[in-house]
Structure 1
Amino acid sequence: MPVITFEYQDLKELGINIENDKLIDILPMLGSDIEDFDDETIKVEFFPNRPDQLSVEGVSRSLKGFISQEMGLPKYKVSPSGEKVFVDKEIENIRPYIAFALIKDVKFDGEKLKQIMDFQENLHWVIGRDRKKVAIGIHNLDVINGDYKYIASSPVENSFIPLDHLNELTPKEILDEHEKGSKYAKLISGFDKYPIILDKNDKVLSMPPIINGELTKLTEDTKNILVDVTGTDEKAVQQTLNIICSSFGEVGGKIESLDIVYQDKTITTPDLSPKTRKVRVNFCNELIGGVNLNAEDVAKLLLKARMDTKIINENEVQVEIPSYRIDILHEVDIVENVAIQYCINKIKAELPNVSTIAYENNWFKGEKTIREIMIGLGFQEIMSLMLTSEENHYEKMKQIEDDHVQVSKPITIDRTMIRKSLINSLMEFLEDNKHEDLPQKIFEIGDTLYIDESRETNVKTVKKLAGAICHSTANFTEIKSTIASLLSNLGYEIEISPSNNSTFIKGRVSNIKGTSKNGTVSGFFGEISPEVINNFELEYPVIAFEIGFL
């Protein structure tokens, strides 16, 4: 999860005078975890559902409400700058959405410059999925001139000096030669042209989502900035800009809007107007439990959560939600804020009034048998998270990325999707334990998730079993013998056919299907490709199998 570091003095400069010990007690009540602290500095880990708290200004804003120092909706004035951003039609198929803001009278002295860079990078992966969905650029406004252009550039035109570089490079050279270019080239690879942002005089501001230009680099002397946010999701782009602008607005930055001119529409960004929802008092009491709140209580608690309220009747409260609170999607989320401001520790625990008779699910009875057979074959069971990353699941495994369930606000950069296969989890385990003695024989029984629009939830869960063996002489015959023994002991008649699974060595991989009175299983087995083995930094051959229970 994202960790932010700030000094107690930073909060004092923002108007909060709380004793250090009391601050340590309060912060966890706001949904954070104290990573470390000393007499001057504190490191705080926040859940990714609150990206607005990933800056010291956001933390200060929430704290002021919790201690009743400031109540209600923060108001940030947005003035029109009169400037425009013209969006090239050709950019639609590459990275189609953009939002701009000007922020004046900012201060970057002391640690502030580093803090804003950390804030930017935390937003990049909490909302931006490591720049794939959203990328942010923050520029020195005083060296450029509006209006601005967001264009699709030829790979060899619009050369510029990338950030922290000495020489001018073309967009293609940046992707081929620059460290950031190599890292993020996959985000715009496959296109004949690349995104570029220009000012009125055709000076290059940045090449999103890759890198900014050295021309607009921030320094401690920077007083006025331009913020650009580009991406593939229009809503996420605008939400990210709102969070950044609100953070600067909290310390007196003067926010100015621009008109974003598309081919078929013009929108103005940022839009910091609040959303309006209703919350029911009886729903709050029912969901929280152990409390007996009335409409006045709910309204006051939500004022502490930095929302404006209006009591409609004894059971309904109208709530104005600030634009930076992108985590509030449902009435339940408002109730959560009521509980937080009431103070979770004050809520009396109650046992649910439910009576049930438990019995063992038939699947788990069969799972016991599978475990006994695998252990009898010399395997050791592992248990891994269902969450993984596209890099580990597809790139390292030499698989083509397809439709999968993504985590909207991932806790870490390597936990961004729900797995569709168990093999990469086994490879990750072997990578983490390559210092252990060989042979290593491991297996896992676990859930995988597939998109299925025919179902109410749009997904289906598939139970799978996977096993892997690593030692110097591991080969196709060994893994074939292993899976044949497994399925035979489970009572399946097996059928083997050729496979083109790219994770494995060509010609040393097969599909397998098992049929019995209890149903069918299907999967594959073989020798893992040397390239995949190298991707996980292993030094010995690996053989593996995976079967799904249909």
Structure 2
Amino acid sequence: IPGGDATGQDTTAVRPHAVAAVLRNITFTQERYDSFIELQEKLHQNVCRKRTLVAIGTHDLDTISGPFTYTAKPPGDIRFKPLNQAKEYTAQELMSLYKTDSHLRHYLHIIEDEPLYPVIYDSNGIVLSLPPIINGDHSKISLNTKNVFIECTATDLTKAKIVLDMMVTMFCEYCEEPFTKETLSADFINRKVGISESTEQIAQLLTKMCLRSEVMSDGEQIEVEIPPTRSDVIHACDIMEDAAMAYGFNNIPRTTPRTYTVASQLPLNKLSELLRQDLAAAGFTEALTFALCSQEDIADKLLKNISETRACHISNPKTAEFQVARTTLLSGLLKTVAANRKMPLPLRLFEISDVVLKDETKDVGARNNRRLCAVYYNKSPGFEVIHGLMDRVMQLLEVKPGQGNGYHIQAADDSTFFPGRCAEIFARGKSIGRLGVLHPDVINRFELTMPCSALDIDIEPFL
């Protein structure tokens, strides 16, 4: 179904996705028909989240003609006779009509404030439905319907496919050509789970899990029927997992692995833990801050340009506080200081955690970088305290002062730090970070009032 046409508008802003299917040569009885309608209502309430994620429309295919067009139009431009009504209404009039309807009034809020309403037309301009509110009366299904057209409009494409699959699979059995079944072997389940059950016993285990199963004529293969409610079953391993649950995980015999391995901590994590203990011993308190933050936190508040930060942006942030992955630990520590301004001075905080930086050489376009950051907040800047902490860290890392394989600092310009009070740190010939007194504008932007010194270094080169 196209997402727009020459006369309508793109549906992206209101309800972006649509999927459809056809059930051919179906035979309805009153019981099957009632079940078909009830299934839609059940799905609307649970998987569809009261039609906000997905709305289902079912139509008699023989009363309409394709191709069908999914578009969006102003409510005053949409006119049709809705289900079980005697005359035509505009979509705007329908909103007023259904305000008092005990069933439909609960769904009006989904689109009523939108400038454009989603609508589905057939090739003759007949309205099939005004999702997610009501179907058209022209294409309503009855006991005599032989071919059913099912359309699902949605804000979530995955949920739309799941709902459509459920609708089709649950009623495909009433078509002339019903659905097919899948097979797998008992040996596959025995090997993967670590048991040795007969084919018949495994078929019983799967049936117990509501996966109706029968042993095939060869005695090895098992025919398994997957109900439409199990949209999670996409591979034989999913069936194997159900067999393991039915058998009981606690009943699976314990075995010794055939390979001998000794677990050990990652060197980077080991180094981080050792440094944490010694920084705490030096009188600094550890903080753990969020890995996501706002663009302001890592750019504007630190007097930086966001384009220079190499930050990874979240494509659909839910709040302004979680727009990007942090590129520095400093902003998180300063926010922690701001939240603890009532605590006695001085405040000494540190954090050893990962930041995320863009890196085109990596398959995901980014990499983690383990950093150490510490701040000292008091009535005086305390640069000597932060400098002493850096010397202690280098002593712990067994890096001696000096050029070459040692460490040294030299004056540097950085907009985050006070002019003339910033130094770049070099160790073993590489720049590993900076220390200095923070710029007064940075202090003010984090709603602080006292001077603050900071140390920010990369600890990965010391592995």
The TM-score, its normalising length taken from structure 2, stands at 0.52
Distance change (3 Å), C-alpha of 1:313 and 1:113: closer
Instruction: Find the counterpart in structure 2 of residue 465 from structure 1.
Output: 371
Answer whether contact 1:378 1:441 (CA < 8 A) is retained: yes
Larger radius of gyration: 2
Separation in 2, partners of 1:106, 1:312: 34
Instruction: Find the counterpart in structure 2 of residue 228 from structure 1.
Output: 152
Structure 1 residue 231, shift from structure 2 partner? 5.2
Q: Does 1:292 align with 2:187?
A: no
Instruction: Find the counterpart in structure 1 of residue 45 from structure 2.
Output: 117
Answer whether contact 1:295 1:311 (CA < 8 A) is retained: no
Instruction: Find the counterpart in structure 2 of residue 188 from structure 1.
Output: none
Structure 1 residue 334, shift from structure 2 partner? 2.8
User: Pairwise mapping of residues 32-431 of structure 1 onto structure 2 (< 5 A)?
Assistant: 87-88=3-4, 91=10, 97-100=17-20, 105=34, 116-121=44-49, 135-137=53-55, 149-151=69-71, 153=73, 196-198=118-120, 205-206=130-131, 212=132, 228-230=152-154, 237-243=160-166, 245=167, 249=170, 276=182, 278=184, 281=187, 283-289=188-194, 291-305=195-209, 306=211, 308=213, 311=216, 317=222, 319=224, 321-322=226-227, 324-357=229-262, 361-376=266-281, 378-382=283-287, 402=312, 426=332, 430=336
Distance change (3 Å), C-alpha of 1:87 and 1:443: same
Separation in 2, partners of 1:275, 1:236: 23
Distance change (3 Å), C-alpha of 1:108 and 1:459: same
Separation in 2, partners of 1:434, 1:368: 25
Structure 1 residue 339, shift from structure 2 partner? 0.6
User: Pairwise mapping of residues 481-500 of structure 1 onto structure 2 (< 5 A)?
Assistant: 482=386, 485-486=389-390, 489-490=393-394, 491=399, 493=408, 496=412, 498=414
Structure 1 residue 448, shift from structure 2 partner? 6.1
Answer whether contact 2:297 2:331 (CA < 8 A) is retained: no
Answer whether contact 2:373 2:457 (CA < 8 A) is retained: no
Q: Which amino acid aligns with 1:98?
A: A
Structure 1 residue 340, shift from structure 2 partner? 1.1
Deviation string, structure 1 residues 435-465 (Cα, Å, up to 9, x no partner)? 984777654434567787866x758762423
Structure 1 runs not aligned, ≥5 long: 1-84, 125-134, 169-177, 186-192, 207-211, 217-222, 258-270, 407-411, 500-504, 534-538
Structure 1 residue 98, shift from structure 2 partner? 1.1
User: What secondary structure sits across from 2:49 in the alignment?
Assistant: helix
Distance change (3 Å), C-alpha of 1:506 and 1:369: closer
Instruction: Find the counterpart in structure 2 of residue 265 from structure 1.
Output: none
Deviation string, structure 1 residues 270-308 (Cα, Å, up to 9, x no partner)? x99568464562x5334433x222333333323333254
Deviation string, structure 1 residues 491-546 (Cα, Å, up to 9, x no partner)? 555675546xxxxx8999x999754239664699978989997xxxxx76898886
Separation in 2, partners of 1:156, 1:545: 62
Separation in 1, partners of 2:206, 2:408: 62
Structure 1 residue 204, shift from structure 2 partner? 7.7
The TM-score, its normalising length taken from structure 1, stands at 0.46
Q: Does 1:517 align with 2:428?
A: yes
Q: Relative CO higher for 1 or 2, CA cutoff 8 Å, sep ≥ 6? A: 1
Structure 1 residue 342, shift from structure 2 partner? 1.4
Distance change (3 Å), C-alpha of 1:113 and 1:160: same
Structure with the bigger percentage of strand: 1
Q: Identity across aligned pairs (percent)?
A: 16
Distance change (3 Å), C-alpha of 1:540 and 1:313: farther
Structure 1 residue 336, shift from structure 2 partner? 1.2
Answer whether contact 1:494 1:512 (CA < 8 A) is retained: yes
Separation in 2, partners of 1:146, 1:423: 61
Separation in 2, partners of 1:517, 1:353: 44
Structure 1 residue 230, shift from structure 2 partner? 3.1
Deviation string, structure 1 residues 383-421 (Cα, Å, up to 9, x no partner)? 5797x7xxx666987879957799xxxxx99xx999665
Instruction: Give the aligned CA root-mean-square deviation in angstroms.
Output: 6.7
Q: Which amino acid aligns with 1:150?
A: Y
Distance change (3 Å), C-alpha of 1:293 and 1:255: closer
Answer whether contact 2:373 2:455 (CA < 8 A) is retained: yes
Distance change (3 Å), C-alpha of 1:138 and 1:367: same
